[in-house]
A and B are shown apart, each in its own frame.
Chain A
């Protein structure tokens, strides 16, 4: 089909009146709306970070604190971002009724997620020697934003382990029933994407400017 034909087809009455989005389940919409409101929550937190930073003027981080080092956060990113892939693979598997793929994929994600949380703990152990949540507004922002995200990772991991335990039993998930897998997957992808925003905000942005 050439370009002009394509445009004509896409702007025909029939194409324009195509139903889109269509056929999603109530659970899918519920999860998407939940993620939307959660994403707004993170947007408000990150917005507050930049607001306080730019209203503060002067050097950032303030009070002679050093800008955070990048090695560990990048390692954390390398652990967390790819952890979405096994979930996708597991979800595709259970859509075809392959329970082993569901179990394996979830287990791999679980390992990656737990590794991430351990890295967060070591990061905190190091940072706490330099500043705490009560040191100044920067400290408050740092711990509240990363802590809130860490809490979301924990919730996501609870979902994943819950799915894993459920999938070990017979008669729970199959090609005709995988709503819960997909919903947990949406949440996990969301937690991943938010991490990218936090990496930029907390770790990369102090190095710009």
Chain B
């Protein structure tokens, strides 16, 4: 790693860090709002289809896609954690790595936690019929 990354790579790297930290949280929020409102609205409308999709498939998408996004964030956090294991040569401030490393730890745990919640939501989808009252 002798060459310094350019400004665009730096921007991408900085954003990747936030995806690693907060990706799971955002994915979970999307999952919750999408899953809840689709289920609620469709059932209230008395049908079991969303457009061309069966309701169960639609809600399934609201589980699977956020789960995949969370796995991605988890991988990014793991990468961040590996890349901050030691201070690279020639880069001055050790604390910059320390800060990112802490965020990596926080990110790994956050993503694991949100992945668990989303997966539990998926279990609920498998067990429960979507429109039972």
Contacts and interface: CB of A to CB of B under 8 A. Distances in A.
Chains A and B touch each other in the complex, with CB atoms below 8 Å apart? yes
Interface of A: 1, 6, 9-20, 54-55, 57
Given A20-B14, A57-B44, A15 B9 contact: yes
Interface of B: 1, 3-6, 8-18, 40-41, 44, 79-80, 83-84, 88, 91, 96-97, 99-100
Contacts of B6: 1, 9
Contacts, number: 78
A209 to B, nearest CB: 8
Kindly name the residue among B6, B13, B99 whose own CB sees the greatest number of chain A CB atoms within 10 A.
B13
Contact of B17 (A1, A9, A16, A55): A16
8 contacts: A14-B4, A14-B88, A15-B14, A16-B83, A16-B84, A17-B97, A18-B17, A20-B15
A10 B44 contact: no
Contact of A17 (B4, B12, B40, B99): B99
B5 A9 contact: yes
Given A9-B6, A54-B41, A14 B1 contact: yes
- Which secondary structure characterizes the binding site on chain B? helix
A15 B12 contact: yes
A12 B4 CA distance: 9
Going nearest first, the 6 A-B pairs with the smallest beta carbon separation are A20-B14, A15-B13, A9-B9, A10-B12, A18-B14, A9-B5
Contacts of A18: 10-11, 13-14, 17
A36 B12 CA distance: 24
Kindly name the residue among A6, A17, A20 whose own CB sees the greatest number of chain B CB atoms within 10 A.
A17
Contacts of B84: 13, 16-17
Given A20-B15, A55-B44, 14 more contacts: A1-B6, A9-B9, A10-B12, A10-B16, A12-B5, A12-B9, A13-B88, A14-B13, A16-B13, A16-B83, A17-B97, A54-B40, A54-B41, A57-B44
A9 B41 CA distance: 45
A55 B99 CA distance: 48
